[in-house]
Chain A
Amino acid sequence: MPQQLHYLKESPSQTAGPYVHIGLAPGAAGFDIYARELGRDIAGPNARGERIRVEGIGIDGTGSPVKDVLIEVWQANADGHYAHPEGGGPVEEGFRGWGRVITDFETGEWGFDTVKPGPTRGRNLGTQAPHLNLWLVARGINIGLNTRMYFGDEAEANAKDPVLNLIEWERRRATLIAPRTLRDGIPVYRFEIRLQGEDETVFFDI
C-alpha cells in the first residue's frame, strides 16, 4: 500500500427541488421572512457602464417552459473586475456582481437589471469577451448547470473569446450569444436556455 492522500470528497449534489424559492428567494416567491433578500440588486447604485436588462426563458426537452428554475448570475463590472479579492481590481461601492432570479410561475419568463460587464482577464494573458456566468438549479436538475451568456453586439470580441472558441461545434457557440434589442431606450438581451433537444445550450464543467 502506498501512502494515503487523505483528501476529502466534495459533498455530492442533490436537486434544489420544487421549493427552492422559499429557501433562496422567499421574497420573490411571495413569502416575507427576511428583512434583506440577497441577490435582488446586482450592480448597485454607483456602478458605471451601460444599464441593461437581461431576459429569458428555459425550455425543457418536451419544448415546454421550465417554470420553477432559479438562476444565479455572477459578473464583472464595466471595468472587467469582479467584486472579489482576486477579481482583477477595484469595483464601485455597492457593486456585488451577483444576483439570483426566479421565473414567473405561470410563464417561465425571468429577467433582471444590471450593467453590461467589460472584458475580463483570460487564462495566460488572454482576454475574455464580456459575459455573464450563469448557474441554474431546479427540480429535476441533479447538479447545478453552469453556462455563460455573451452579448450579441460584441461580435468582434466574441470571435476571439477563448471559451467560445473552445466549443468545437461552431454552430453551438450561438446558443450562448444573446441578441440585443432596445425597449423604451433600454438595451434588452434575450437569452433562451434549452436544456436539451435541438440547439441545446452549451453547459460547462467548470
Chain B
Amino acid sequence: MTTPAEYYPRDRTWHPPALTPDYKTSVARSPRLPLISLQNSVSEITGPVFGHGDIDPLDRDLIHNYARPGEAAIGQRIILHGRVLDENARPVPNTLVEIWQANAGGRYRHRKDTYLAPIDPNFGGCGRTLTDETGYYYFRTIKPGAYPWRNWVNNWRPAHIHVSVFGAAFAQRLITQCYFEGDPLIRHCPIVQTIPDPRAIEQLTAALDLNATIPLDTIAYRFDIVLRGRRSTLFENRLEGN
C-alpha cells in the first residue's frame, strides 16, 4: 500500500470557528488566513501510544489522588464515565483520557486563578486513565462549581470538566469540555456558545445516569466522546496527483 487509509475530514461547521468575538480572547488569537487542507500522511495517521506503565490506577480517582491519607476532597461525589468511540461507532481502546477541573467552590489549583473561593487542601483537580478494550473509561471526582470569569462584566462558566483525548492518530487529537445536564449557565456561556449547532452542545452535555450511581454514595454522569473515524481502503489510491 502506498498511502495509508485516511481519517474522515473534520466537519469544521460542527466545531467552533477560530474567531468568536463574544469570547473575547479568541479575537487576537485566531488565525485570519484559512487553514491549509492536508491529506493524511504517516505523520497524521500515527500518534503516541500509552500503556499502563505510564499512569497509576489512583490517577483516575480525583477524590483521593491529592488527598492526605484518610481524607477526601469536599464536594458532591460523582462518577464520570462513558466510552470513547470513533465516527464509525467503533470503540477506541487503550487511549489516554486526561481531565482537569475546578474544585467544588469553583476554584482551580493554579497560580493564575485568584477567585475568592477557597482551595480544597485535599483536591488537586486533575486525573487520567486509559480506556479499556471496549473504549470504556471512568473517573471518580467531585462535581466542579461554577465560577466567574472576565469576558463581559458578568460571565459565569457552567460547571465543567476539561477532557483531553488522544485516539490512535495525531489527527484525532481533541480537547473539549464536559457540561452537566440541567445547568442553566450553559446557554449563557460565551465559550459554550462558540459552538454553532445546538445539537453539538448537547453532545457535550453529560447525562445524569442513575443506573450507574452507587446508592447512598456517589451519583453518576455519562459522557461519551467521539473521535474522528477512519476510511476503509477498498481500492488502492491512484499514484498520480499529490
> Does A49 sit at the interface, judged by CB under 8 A?
no
Shortest CB distance A88–B (Å)? 6
- Would A138 and B29 be within 8 Å (CB), given that A10-B226, A22-B100, A87-B46 are in contact? yes
Question: Are A12's CB and B110's CB within 8 A?
Answer: no
Complex Cα spacing A135 to B35, Å: 13
Partner of B16 from the list A14, A31, A68, A128 (CB cut-off 8 Å) is A14
Question: How many chain-B residues does the 8 Å CB contact rule pick out?
Answer: 93
Partner of B29 from the list A121, A122, A131, A140 (CB cut-off 8 Å) is A140
> Does A203 sit at the interface, judged by CB under 8 A?
yes
Q: Considering the complex, which residues of chain A in the window 180-206 have a beta carbon less than 8 Å from any beta carbon of chain B?
A: 195-197, 200-206
Question: Are A11's CB and B162's CB within 8 A?
Answer: no
Complex Cα spacing A140 to B18, Å: 8
Shortest CB distance A14–B (Å)? 4
Question: Are B126's CB and A124's CB within 8 A?
Answer: no
> Does B66 sit at the interface, judged by CB under 8 A?
yes
Question: Are A142's CB and B42's CB within 8 A?
Answer: no
Complex Cα spacing A148 to B65, Å: 36
Q: Considering the complex, which residues of chain B in the window 71-106 have a beta carbon less than 8 Å from any beta carbon of chain A?
A: 85-89, 96, 98-100
Across the A-B interface, how many residue pairs have beta carbons closer than 8 Å? Answer: 273
For A64, the chain B residues whose CB sits under 8 A away are: 28
Complex Cα spacing A121 to B40, Å: 11
> Does A171 sit at the interface, judged by CB under 8 A?
no
Partner of A133 from the list B10, B164, B170 (CB cut-off 8 Å) is B170
- Would A22 and B109 be within 8 Å (CB), given that A13-B176, A60-B28, A120-B42 are in contact? yes
- Would A7 and B16 be within 8 Å (CB), given that A19-B110, A82-B43 are in contact? no
Q: Could you tell me the dominant secondary structure of chain A's interface residues?
A: loop
For B164, the chain A residues whose CB sits under 8 A away are: 16, 23-24
For A15, the chain B residues whose CB sits under 8 A away are: 23, 26, 175, 177, 191, 194
Q: Could you tell me the dominant secondary structure of chain B's interface residues?
A: loop
- Would A10 and B14 be within 8 Å (CB), given that A20-B162, A24-B98, A133-B43 are in contact? yes
Q: Which of A38, A97, A172, A197 neighbours the largest number of chain B CB atoms within 10 Å of its CB? A: A38
Partner of A97 from the list B40, B48, B227 (CB cut-off 8 Å) is B48
- Would A74 and B48 be within 8 Å (CB), given that A7-B87, A10-B87, A12-B200 are in contact? yes
Question: Are A36's CB and B54's CB within 8 A?
Answer: yes
Question: Are A13's CB and B175's CB within 8 A?
Answer: yes
Comparing A108-116, A152-160, A161-169, the segment that makes contact with chain B is A161-169
Question: Are B32's CB and A196's CB within 8 A?
Answer: yes
> Does B188 sit at the interface, judged by CB under 8 A?
no
Question: Are B85's CB and A8's CB within 8 A?
Answer: yes
Q: Considering the complex, which residues of chain A in the window 137-152 have a beta carbon less than 8 Å from any beta carbon of chain B?
A: 137-145, 148
- Would A206 and B241 be within 8 Å (CB), given that A9-B203, A74-B43 are in contact? no
Complex Cα spacing A35 to B112, Å: 23
**6 further contact pairs, Cβ within 8 A, besides A74-B47, A123-B3, A163-B41:** A22-B100, A74-B43, A74-B170, A121-B42, A167-B36, A205-B36
